[in-house]
Chain A
Amino acid sequence: MSVSREEVERMAALAQLAVAPDELPELTAQMDRIVGFVARLRALDDLSGEGPQPTGPPETLLRDDVVTPADLARSPAELAPEFIDGFFVVPKLGAMEEP
């Protein structure tokens, strides 16, 4: 089970990570090494015994439906790299797909 360059490129695209062409060979080799290591789990045939993960509470706590102030020490305007007229501002969508 080895990881191909095409797969690494596809994963990088899914994760919105730019990978320069000259980085791709080494990155592919590293990914292949890591995936090859964790792949020893594939010998585990038996997926039965499905159940919740062993950590944390058995059920989620819930919140009352009350509006509470955010109490932010800094506003969105102060956090944002670009903020105009009350809006966060980013470039045009361009090639980004609508989900």
Chain B
Amino acid sequence: MSGRLAAAAVQNRLAEADRAGLNATLAWSAAALAAEADRVDALPEPGLLQNLPVAVKDNIVTTGLPTTCGSRILEGYRSPFNATVIDRLRAAGAMIACKTNLDEFAMGSSTEHSAFGRVLHPMDPTRVPGGSSGGSAALVAAGVVPVALGSETGGSVRQPASFCGVIGVKPTYGRVSRYGLVAFGSSLDCVSVFARTVADAGRVLGVIAGPDSRDATTLAASPIVVAHAGVSLAGTTIGVPREYFPGDLDPGVRAACDAALLRMRELGAAIVEVSLPHSSLAVPAYYILAPAEAAANLARFDGARYGVRAPVAGDLRELYRATRGSGFGPEVRRRILVGTYVLSAGYYDAYYARAQTARRRIAGDFAAAFASGVDLLFTPTTPTTAFRAGEKTGDPVAMYLADVFVCPASLAGLPAMSLPIGRSEGLPVGGQLIAPSLAEAKMLSLAAVLEGALDPTAEVRR
């Protein structure tokens, strides 16, 4: 009956988080938890993730709990099917604990753009946990659940993982099925994992990864098997891209990274400087490509067949415009408009085509770096520690620049992760590892070594 016990424990912690006003969840219930517990207890054999409670970002569809994507336009929407990742988790004995809060339709870097209120940073309620997967990050950081699913389009798991001081892993694009992940930027979206340990992240990733006949963009790759024994950093070459260490980098972040690099060197790694010369094109390219795909992906939300419908009395066009105008929040609306603009007649070549070119150049930079003998790249995950709520909402571009270090690996489709490497003025600092395509196992095993060798709660000395 250990499923029931685990469920009861999670339920208490979820209730506590609610009382503390964390606002990290959008849906959970005792009944749903009990049903999950009964289901896993009834499995004929214990699975790889038996009794593990998993929080799920609310843009991954589930038939039990509603799926809102943090938006009014899907308030109360109950999906008639489960995402592939949900099926795989459950088949392995995991329990879906709750749906977590997010920036609306995964568009944002702070979770301030949720229609259902922002999520508090577990260590400082005046700060943001990052986004868009802020709810998932906060729950793991607060110890409510050991692991959570998020999604990444431009860094939406690594960035909040860095802000909250937890592990956040994005797999190679195509490793994990997107069937059931509500699409934002289809060529970029990756279901990703939050955990408190590298080992847990690896276990969950191993279960959800793998080809899916319902997603034509999945890769037929061999399973992710993370070695634990006998792994060391000796003989590993870590590349440090100079473009990610600008002169004006936050001193606390820089100090934490320097300390981590020193530790790596002590453990036997060779550290070399590399260059990824097209790095500065990444954020502009991303904010052309992702909105363009999003504008088309969100065209299906019109109140005709499901979801919320605006109560207007006019004709169909009025219904569409009112439903979408009021159902989408301001950031989603801006991105749909930008996406429409960059694809529109006369602008496609100037923006979209060029962004595709920039993307290929960025991917080329990474390929060249790895080909030159680098095993992994190491960078700061974010340019700063968690910023305060309201600090960046006045200027959309300021918010976009929070993604400057995480967005390039998304464009290149590479596996990448953030792990906590220290504290700066009490706030977590994340270090990012980027690996070659399909090299999750290597990345995770080396990350585990680093994890064992660093104290993530240690305040850095500047």
**A binding-site residues for B, Cβ under 8 Å:** 3, 7-8, 11-12, 14-19, 27, 30-31, 33-35, 37-42, 44, 46-47, 49-51, 53-57, 60-61, 63, 71-76, 78-82, 88, 90-96
Q: List the A side residues contacting B338 at CB < 8 Å.
A: 31, 34-35, 38
Asked whether any CB of chain A lies closer than 8 Å to the CB of B196, the reply is no
Q: Which of B78, B316, B328 contacts A17 (CB 8 A)?
A: B328
Closest to A88 in B: B305
Q: Cα distance A41–B342 when bound, in Å? A: 12
Interface of A is mostly: loop
Q: List the A side residues contacting B314 at CB < 8 Å.
A: 91, 94
Asked whether any CB of chain A lies closer than 8 Å to the CB of B250, the reply is no
User: A33-B397, A41-B281 are contacts. A27–B334 as well, Cβ < 8 Å?
Assistant: yes
A-B contact pairs, 12 of them (CB 8 A): A7-B341, A11-B344, A18-B324, A27-B333, A31-B341, A35-B338, A37-B397, A38-B285, A40-B281, A44-B357, A50-B357, A80-B305
Interface of B is mostly: helix
Instruction: Give min CB distance, B435 to chain A, whole Å.
Output: 15
Instruction: Give min CB distance, B224 to chain A, whole Å.
Output: 17
**Number of chain B residues close to chain A: CB under 8 A:** 71
Asked whether any CB of chain A lies closer than 8 Å to the CB of B320, the reply is yes
Q: List the B side residues contacting A53 at CB < 8 Å.
A: 187, 356, 359-360
Q: Which of B218, B315, B340, B353 contacts A94 (CB 8 A)?
A: B315
**B binding-site residues for A, Cβ under 8 Å:** 63, 78-81, 173-174, 187-188, 213, 216-220, 281, 284-285, 287-288, 295, 299, 302-309, 314-322, 324-326, 328, 333-334, 336-338, 340-342, 344, 349-351, 353-360, 363, 395-397, 400, 411-413
Q: Which of B317, B355, B413 contacts A55 (CB 8 A)?
A: B413
B340 touches A88 (CB 8 A): no
Q: List the B side residues contacting A91 at CB < 8 Å.
A: 314-316, 318-319
Q: Cα distance A15–B110 when bound, in Å? A: 26
